[in-house]
Chain A
Amino acid sequence: MGAGTLIRPTPLKSSPLSQQRPPPRPPTPGYHSSNSISIPRSSTPVKASSSLNSQGDYRGPKPKREWVADWVSQNNDVVRSLPIYVGGLSLLAVLVNRTISGIAPVADASSSQSRADLLTLGLAVTNILNGLVWLSIRPKSVSAVNPEGVECQSICPLLPDFISSELLWVWESLSDATCCRSLIIVYDKRVILQIGFATASSNTDDAVVVDVDKLMKGSLYQGALKSKSQSYLANLSLYPAKSELPFLPPNTQAVILQPLGDKGLAIIGGDMIRGFTTSDQAWITLVGEKLDATLAKMNNIPVNA
């Protein structure tokens, strides 16, 4: 009775969202980021760039390559320190020029040479200051931490088609656009979706089952639903309330708790500290509202005892 009836609606296609998606890795035993999926694999993996009609039939204008933008984005550090070096070297050059020409290094504006020197010095200082501002706002590079656990894809089988496709769309969007690696959606006192990485349970190789009652009594859930707004735990290791989320991989770096109306919560786990940007947070809020509107249309689905 535990598993209940497994309803298999039509399998959903995994169309490649971006061209660089690698083919799925074969399942390997063990805990560390293993792909141990206990379901039969479909016949052929989807190759991302196979037999696409190249260029399609669109004959309109295409954008040209942005060389400067690409070069700057790739050589970020070099460009950030460039103004300081340029400014500093020109400062030295002006002073050296003055000394080797035999002019006394006096800063007055009497001769046109001095005026030209002063203007050049002013420009050099501007460059140095701009370089300092750029260096001070250099983003701190954080690297992603691969979650430890097993991958799972579990969905409540009694959901109507439009809801399950919407849930899978939410997962695809989050995993493609953000650093999200785990997603659990709790609605109406039960888990309707658990997808991505999860802690492996101790006796089997599958993902640990979410204890919904314990989660709903915990402070994270209560606080999120009471405040009715998103909660962003940017560095999960700093929060002792982390123990309320044992189903997420233990080295999950950041978590967003998005309440879905009054009845549900979406738990989004990411692999990078402060990995969700403010833009991501805004998008997740709006997607959460949409999901809540869709889930509210769900009539009472019988609990699978």
Chain B
Amino acid sequence: MSGTALSPFPLIPLSFPPDIGNKSYPLTKFPTRKLKSLAKISCSRSDNSSHSTSQQQQLNLSVLRFTFGIPGLDESYLPRWIGYAFGSLLLLNHFGGSDFSAITPAQLRTEVLGLSLAAFSIVLPYLGKFLKGATPNNEKSIPEGAEPIFLMSQNIPDTLKGDLAWGTYVLLRNTNTISVLIFIQDALCVRGYWNTPKDIPKDQVHDWFEKEINKTGLFDLRETLYFPQAEELWEILPRGTCSFLIQPVLHTQNSSSDKTEMSDGFVLLASSSTYAYSSKDRAWIRAVANKFRVDATA
């Protein structure tokens, strides 16, 4: 018999989640156009179907972007610079152009309109960041004074060590994160760039982290906290953190009458850019955190 050794295995039925909104969709095709003679339009390909095994039609999706071609220059902020430049020129024209008595109401109207347009242009890139399909800024800048460390508690089983190492690696690699800390049931794993105080010896760094965690009171957390534009709240966070996220690891516990959620620990991620974690990132971070969930009956 063909070797399908599959038997129906009774599991508690898992209900499917509803459609998850806020996905970032790939981009539609758009022909190139000449808009200005100075700058050029570049068509960057975002190929969303990696090689298929058979020679089938590939789905090629192109993106229209306006760029000067200077590497490292973010052109989405161009309206903001133009807004500042033209706005200040307008003010210069108003105060330095001609003498005050010759300013007509028509000119005043134009200037008011111009200044409000300048203000709108300045705000525009900020709004554009939140649109669906906005390309996130994935450049990680390393805060100064921070050193890369990889710290793990010693007295934990090997499988947990392997899982912690994998979890921290994956979070650092796949999200816009520079520092990650996982704290599960007294096991601690710290990886990435952190600002540990320089005057404590190496073997006491672990205790320093535990002390700082106790100060924050995060082990009682039951909901995800996402600070997209944070000032640094706790000493444990590396300097230069612009956004961070704390994901608790929860499991439900059957009490006599109802189900309560108990916290097994948390995952702390810090990033050097604001709005670093989209809803898709947060869903995957939740999935990685659930790997460390403790099954009470296991």
Residues of A within 8 A of B (CB): 3-4, 6, 8, 10-18, 20-25, 35, 37-42, 45-47, 50-53, 55-63, 66, 68-69, 72-73, 76, 79-80, 83, 86-87, 90, 93-94, 97-98, 100-101, 103, 111-113, 115-117, 119-120, 122-124, 126-127, 129-130, 133-134, 136-142, 144, 151-158, 161-162, 165, 168-169, 171-173, 175-177, 179, 181, 189-192, 194, 206, 209-213, 219-220, 222-224, 227, 229-235, 238-241, 257, 274-275, 277-283, 286, 290, 303-305
A282 (CB) vs chain B CBs: closest residue: B174
Q: How far is the CB of A199 from chain B (nearest CB, A)?
A: 15
Residues of B within 8 A of A (CB): 1-20, 22-28, 30, 35, 46, 48-54, 56-57, 59, 63-66, 78-79, 82-83, 86, 89-90, 93-94, 97-98, 102-107, 109-111, 113-114, 117-118, 120-121, 124, 126-128, 130-133, 159, 166, 170, 173-174, 216-218, 220-223, 225-228, 230, 233, 250-252, 254, 258-261, 263, 275, 280-281, 283-284, 286-288, 290-291, 293, 295-298
Q: Do A274 and B25 form a contact, CB below 8 Å, given A129-B66, A134-B128, A138-B133?
A: yes
For residue A280, which residues in chain B have a CB less than 8 angstroms away from its CB?
Answer: 280
* Cross-chain contact of B15 among A6, A23, A155, A303 (Cβ < 8 A): A23
For residue B261, which residues in chain A have a CB less than 8 angstroms away from its CB?
Answer: 15, 52-53
Q: Would A234 and B16 count as touching, CB distance under 8 A? A: no
Q: Would B106 and A98 count as touching, CB distance under 8 A? A: yes
A289 (CB) vs chain B CBs: closest residue: B166
For residue A4, which residues in chain B have a CB less than 8 angstroms away from its CB?
Answer: 5, 7
For residue A56, which residues in chain B have a CB less than 8 angstroms away from its CB?
Answer: 220-223, 263
Q: Would A136 and B30 count as touching, CB distance under 8 A? A: yes
Q: Would B17 and A21 count as touching, CB distance under 8 A? A: yes
Most buried by B among A23, A120, A144: A120
Q: Would B132 and A238 count as touching, CB distance under 8 A? A: no
Q: Would B217 and A60 count as touching, CB distance under 8 A? A: yes
| Cα(A40)–Cα(B118), bound, Å | 66
For residue B2, which residues in chain A have a CB less than 8 angstroms away from its CB?
Answer: 211-213
Q: Would A231 and B251 count as touching, CB distance under 8 A? A: no
Q: Would A134 and B103 count as touching, CB distance under 8 A? A: no
Enumerate 16 A-B pairs (CB-CB under 8 Å) in ascending A order: A8-B10, A11-B10, A63-B227, A73-B130, A87-B117, A94-B113, A98-B106, A100-B106, A116-B93, A123-B117, A129-B35, A155-B11, A190-B4, A229-B50, A234-B48, A274-B26
Closest 8 CB pairs of A and B: A223-B53, A173-B287, A139-B25, A112-B97, A101-B106, A120-B114, A304-B5, A56-B222
For residue B94, which residues in chain A have a CB less than 8 angstroms away from its CB?
Answer: 112, 116
Q: Do A17 and B57 form a contact, CB below 8 Å, given A76-B132, A127-B121, A277-B23?
A: no
Told that A137-B65, A140-B26 touch, could you supply 10 new A-B pairs with CB distance under 8 A? Answer: A14-B13, A58-B220, A72-B130, A112-B107, A123-B118, A127-B121, A177-B280, A210-B6, A212-B2, A257-B53
Q: Do A172 and B22 form a contact, CB below 8 Å, given A137-B63, A234-B49?
A: no
Q: How far is the CB of A219 from chain B (nearest CB, A)?
A: 6
Q: Would B66 and A133 count as touching, CB distance under 8 A? A: yes
A143 (CB) vs chain B CBs: closest residue: B19
For residue A100, which residues in chain B have a CB less than 8 angstroms away from its CB?
Answer: 106
| Cα(A239)–Cα(B78), bound, Å | 42
B63 (CB) vs chain A CBs: closest residue: A137
| Cα(A97)–Cα(B106), bound, Å | 7
Q: Would B7 and A304 count as touching, CB distance under 8 A? A: yes
Q: Would A134 and B131 count as touching, CB distance under 8 A? A: yes
Q: Would B6 and A15 count as touching, CB distance under 8 A? A: no
Q: Do A13 and B98 form a contact, CB below 8 Å, given A138-B133, A157-B7, A238-B56?
A: no
* Cross-chain contact of A13 among B83, B166, B252 (Cβ < 8 A): B252
Q: Do A80 and B131 form a contact, CB below 8 Å, given A4-B7, A155-B9?
A: yes
A166 (CB) vs chain B CBs: closest residue: B291
Q: How far is the CB of B45 from chain A (nearest CB, A)?
A: 12
Q: Would A177 and B110 count as touching, CB distance under 8 A? A: no
* Cross-chain contact of A190 among B3, B28, B226 (Cβ < 8 A): B3
Q: Would A173 and B7 count as touching, CB distance under 8 A? A: no
For residue A112, which residues in chain B have a CB less than 8 angstroms away from its CB?
Answer: 93-94, 97-98, 102-103, 107
Q: Do A6 and B9 form a contact, CB below 8 Å, given A56-B223, A231-B51?
A: yes
Q: Do A191 and B290 form a contact, CB below 8 Å, given A51-B259, A176-B283?
A: no
* Cross-chain contact of A39 among B8, B26, B28 (Cβ < 8 A): B8
* Cross-chain contact of A232 among B16, B18, B30, B50 (Cβ < 8 A): B50
Q: How far is the CB of B261 from chain A (nearest CB, A)?
A: 5
For residue B7, which residues in chain A have a CB less than 8 angstroms away from its CB?
Answer: 3-4, 6, 154, 156-157, 304
Q: Would A58 and B221 count as touching, CB distance under 8 A? A: yes
Q: Would A305 and B1 count as touching, CB distance under 8 A? A: yes
Q: Would A211 and B110 count as touching, CB distance under 8 A? A: no
* Cross-chain contact of A162 among B24, B51, B159, B297 (Cβ < 8 A): B159
Q: How far is the CB of B171 from chain A (nearest CB, A)?
A: 10
